[in-house]
Chains A and B, each alone.
Chain A
Amino acid sequence: MNPASRLWGNWLLAVYLIFFFLFLESPLVMILLTSMNKGFGVTFPPQGLSSQWYLRLWDEIRNIPGVKPDLVRATWTSAWLGVSAMGGSIVAGVLVAFGLHRYRFPGRTVVQQCFLLPILFPQIVTGVALALWFSAVHGVPVWARLVMAHLILTLPYVVITTTASLETLDQRLEDAAMNLGANPLQTFWHITLPGIRSGIISGAVFAWLISFANFTVTFFIYGSGVRPLPVWIYEVLQYLLDPSLAALSTGLVLLTLTVLLILNRVFALGRLMGQRR
């Protein structure tokens, strides 16, 4: 391949990738434009720039009467739900990762795949399955249902990142600790845990973000008493096409992006998720 055609090839690839990503992210682009639109509603091309929807969002947050109620409450619900899912995932996920990584037992590969299934399943399938199960098993309070469902969704991520960390850990460090007099519990606490700290923290942050942002599964099992933010937005959208929601969405996207960028900086996320270099 001569230099000229290589240059052409690179340019074409770049153009293709730009359009591909624009297409993929076009819903987000639309939301961004709507939040800054002068007019009301989703129009294209936009009618001019304005920050009015962000100001309105700020009003809603401060719960001025006459404006949509419960935005703040929904946000707190999602935040605490996220913390619960995160906490449970950390405890269970570290144990699972440890067990799968350190011990060979018959059926190990199958068990390993089972723990990764929630990522592979379409969330609609998971949502419907859980809804059916909860209706068969009576009397599970809504918040418990949500925590359980979110735990199922977030556990695989903690397992993945913790396992990746475990694999980079030098087991001779644990041998050295035991040789110096540390029993297995002390070794785990003082040597192993600090060694896999980056995997646990990354997995935990992931878990919270995924729980906070989850719509599909949450939609199938939530109840009127507990309303996480994504389904709250959905409900409002049923009767009102309010661009301040676009402002809210844009804000959430920016928040998620920022957290992920910081996480990547601190913990080299790519390598934890399997990137080679």
Chain B
Amino acid sequence: MTEHVAELELIRLTKRFAQVIAVDRVSLRLGRGEFLSLLGPSGCGKTTTLRMIAGFVHPDEGRIVYRGRDITEDPPYRRDAGLVFQNYALFPHMSVGDNVAFGLRMRRAAKHVIRERAAWALDLVRLSGYEHRRPHELSGGQQQRVAVARVLATGASLLLFDEPFSNLDAKLRKEMQGELRELQQQLGIAVVHVTHDQEEAMSMSDRLIIMNEGRVVQEGGPGDVYRTPGSEFVAEFMGQCNRLTAHVIEPHHDPAHARLALESGGQLQLARSELGHARGRVSVLIRPEHIEIALAGAIRGRANVLAGVVRRVVYRGSTTTLHINLDESTEVLVEVSNPSDGPLAYTPGTQVDLSVPISAIRVFSD
């Protein structure tokens, strides 16, 4: 059996700034060629963790191990992790070619090696021929590609991305995300990617690490974290979420199912395994796209049907978000894909039935 040495390992990394614990005993393992995203709200410690991996911040406690070697005390210029900055940080007084060649030049590589690798890197990001341009002559997307080429040219086997797409417009962002992911897979380079955009993280990553207030709160593949969040925080961070308050009805006869009484009226049936040990007052989280909607009375033979009134219809092109009132104070969002043949039949005031599949219900103790 072969020993699988992790590409990067963080062991109980901790960093304090004055009285605030910015990073609190964060541990993680990154496999070879794996794309890992650190995801969380502003101030959760993800950027500080990244800067510790790069060597710009020295941890107060914990160790950083790269390919089996402890690099915690190594200065940034002796680490093998290429960092792509949010604002690209291209050297303005150098040409694109000189920017890309900079790393190898500083490491005193042979001239022909520098030339070859720089050309190779620029070709990878489809900017061959741009060697003589200056950074300020390039568009945002082009500058980002130069920044990527610049770290690739040094032969780094670990890439660090610090919210690299936040300065691009929506369409360009999606393009670059796809390109970068393809490039990463093609080269087999491990990546640690920091972002606060859950969609971006889910679309690019092999694995996600959700952080909040300096701590790791959940780890897993994008699908797992989205469908089975470990806490309300994670559920609401990963995407739109309906939150209803309910009380557990003590289960008697059915070993596989349990029932909840919603405070807004009506009952929901769910899997006993999902309920777990929760009792009494609980929060029920349901994703808008999992709820089925039909005109009042049109849904027959389903377990969880709730009655409501349409309050607002928000058209978003590919989908429509319906704001439904279950009672005066409880609003539920339902997301529906728009059909090709015309607008949906719902207008404010329409009476509707909502059907919630058992598998869509997540319960968290209050």
Taking Cβ atoms with an 8 Å cutoff, the residues of A that contact B are 170, 172-173, 175-184, 186-187, 190-191, 194-195
A141 to B353, CA, bound (A): 101
Whether B106 contacts A186 by the Cβ 8 Å rule is yes
**A180-B106, A181-B107, A182-B77 known; A175-B150 Cβ under 8 A:** no
Residues of B in contact, count (CB < 8 Å)? 24
Could you tell me if A194 and B93 are in contact, using CB atoms closer than 8 angstroms? yes
Contact status A181-B93, CB under 8 Å:
no
Proximity string of chain B (103-124) to chain A, C-beta cutoff 8 Å, 1 when within and 0 when not = 1101100000000000000000
Contacts of A184 in B (CB 8 A): 77
Chain B, residues 200-223, CB within 8 Å of chain A (1/0): the string is 000000000000000000000000
In the bound complex, residues from chain A placing their C-beta under 8 Å from that of B82 are: 179-180
Please measure, in the bound complex, the distance between the C-alpha atom of A123 and the C-alpha atom of B220, giving whole angstroms: 71
| A181 with B89, Cβ < 8 A, contacts A175-B56, A176-B83, A186-B106 known | no
Residues of B within 8 A of A179 (CB): 54-55, 76-77, 79, 81-83, 151
Interface residue B351 (Cβ < 8 Å from any Cβ of A)? no
| Cα separation A181 to B77 with both chains bound (whole Å) | 4
State how many angstroms separate the Cβ of A218 from the closest Cβ of chain B: 38
Q: How far is the CA of A172 from the CA of B147 in the complex (A)?
A: 13
Contacts of A173 on B, CB cut-off 8 Å? Answer: 89, 91-92
Residues of A within 8 A of B89 (CB): 170, 172-173, 175-176
Taking a contact as CB atoms closer than 8 A, the residue among B54, B56, B106 that contacts A181 in the complex is B106
- B245 CB to closest chain A CB (Å) equals 46
Q: Is the beta-carbon distance between A180 and B102 smaller than 8 angstroms?
A: yes
User: CA A182 – CA B106 in complex, angstroms?
Assistant: 5
- Determine the chain B residues whose CB is within 8 A of the CB of A190 once the complex forms: 102, 106
* Bound Cα distance from A180 to B152, whole angstroms: 10
B54 touches A182 (CB 8 A): no
B38-55: CB near A (< 8 Å → 1, else 0) gives: 000000000000000011
Chain A positions within 8 Å of B154 at CB level: 180-181
Q: A179-B77, A182-B106 are in contact. List 12 more A-B contacts (CB 8 A).
A: A170-B87, A175-B89, A176-B89, A177-B102, A178-B56, A179-B79, A180-B82, A180-B150, A181-B107, A182-B102, A186-B106, A195-B93
**In the complex, residue of chain A having the shortest beta-carbon distance to the beta carbon of B76:** A178
Chain B: minimal CB distance from A189 (Å): 10
Contacts of B348 in A (CB 8 A): none
Chain B CB within 10 Å, residue with most, of A170, A177, A179, A182: A179
- 10 A–B contacts from the bound complex (CB under 8 Å): A170-B87, A172-B89, A175-B83, A176-B89, A178-B56, A178-B77, A180-B102, A180-B154, A181-B77, A182-B106
Q: Check if A191 sits within 8 Å of B76, measured CB to CB.
A: no
Q: How far is the CA of A175 from the CA of B57 in the complex (A)?
A: 11
Contact bitstring B144-170, A, C-beta under 8 A = 1, else 0 = 000000110010000000000000000
Distance, CA A191 to CA B93, complexed state (A): 9
List 8 A-B pairs, minimum CB-CB distance, nearest first: A180-B103, A176-B89, A182-B106, A178-B76, A181-B106, A172-B89, A179-B83, A181-B107
List B contacts of A181 (CB < 8 A). 77, 103-104, 106-107, 154
The answer to whether the Cβ of B237 comes within 8 Å of any Cβ in the partner chain is: no
User: In whole angstroms, how far apart are the Cα atoms of A183 and B107 in the complex?
Assistant: 9
Q: Assess the B87–A172 pair: CB atoms within 8 A.
A: yes
B346 surroundings in chain A (CB, below 8 A) = none
Min C-beta distance of A184 to chain B, whole Å: 8
Chain B residue with Cβ nearest A171: B89
Q: How many whole Å from B36's CB to the nearest CB in chain A?
A: 19
Cβ-defined partner of A172 (8 Å) among B79, B85, B106: B85
Write out the residue numbers on chain B whose beta carbons fall within 8 Å of the beta carbon of A194: 93
Taken together as a complex, chains A and B put the C-alpha atoms of A112 and B56 apart, in Å, by 27
Residues of A within 8 A of B102 (CB): 177, 180, 182, 190
B68 in contact (CB, < 8 A)? no
B251 CB–A CB distance under 8 Å: no
Instruction: Kindly state the separation between the CA atoms of A183 and B77 in the bound complex, as whole angstroms.
Output: 6
* CB-contact partner of A176 in B55, B85, B93, under 8 A: B85
Smallest CB–CB gap between A168 and chain B, Å? 11
In angstroms, Cα B75 to Cα A176, docked, is 13
Residue of B nearest to A183 (CB): B77
State how many angstroms separate the Cβ of A178 from the closest Cβ of chain B: 4
A187: B residues at CB distance < 8 A: 77
Contacts of B150 in A (CB 8 A): 180
Q: Which residues of B contact A178 (CB under 8 A)?
A: 55-56, 75-77
Q: When chains A and B are docked, how far (Å) is the Cα of A183 from the Cα of B103?
A: 11
Residue of B nearest to A173 (CB): B89
List the B side residues contacting A175 at CB < 8 Å: 54, 56, 76, 83, 85, 89
How near does chain B come to A175, taking the closest CB pair, in angstroms?
A: 6
Residue of A nearest to B109 (CB): A181
Find chain A residues with CB under 8 A from B106 CB. Answer: 177, 180-183, 186, 190
For B89, the closest partner residue in chain A by CB is A176
Q: Which chain B residues lie closer than 8 Å to A195 at the CB level?
A: 93
Query: Across the interface, which residues of A come within 8 angstroms of B55, CB to CB?
Result: 178-179
Residues of B close to A183: CB separation below 8 A: 75, 77, 106
Q: How far is the CA of A262 from the CA of B82 in the complex (A)?
A: 42
- For chain B, residues 60 to 93, give those with C-beta under 8 angstroms from any C-beta of chain A: 75-77, 79, 81-83, 85, 87, 89, 91-93
Rounded to whole Å, the gap between the CB of B192 and the closest CB of chain A is 13
Closest chain A residue, CB of each to CB of B93: A194
B191 → A minimal CB distance (Å): 15
How far is it, in angstroms, between the C-alpha of A176 and the C-alpha of B89 when the chains are bound? 7
CB distance from B17 to the nearest CB of A (A): 15
Residues of chain B contacted by A177 (CB below 8 angstroms)? 91, 102, 106
Q: How distant is the Cα of A166 from the Cα of B1 in the complex, in angstroms?
A: 56
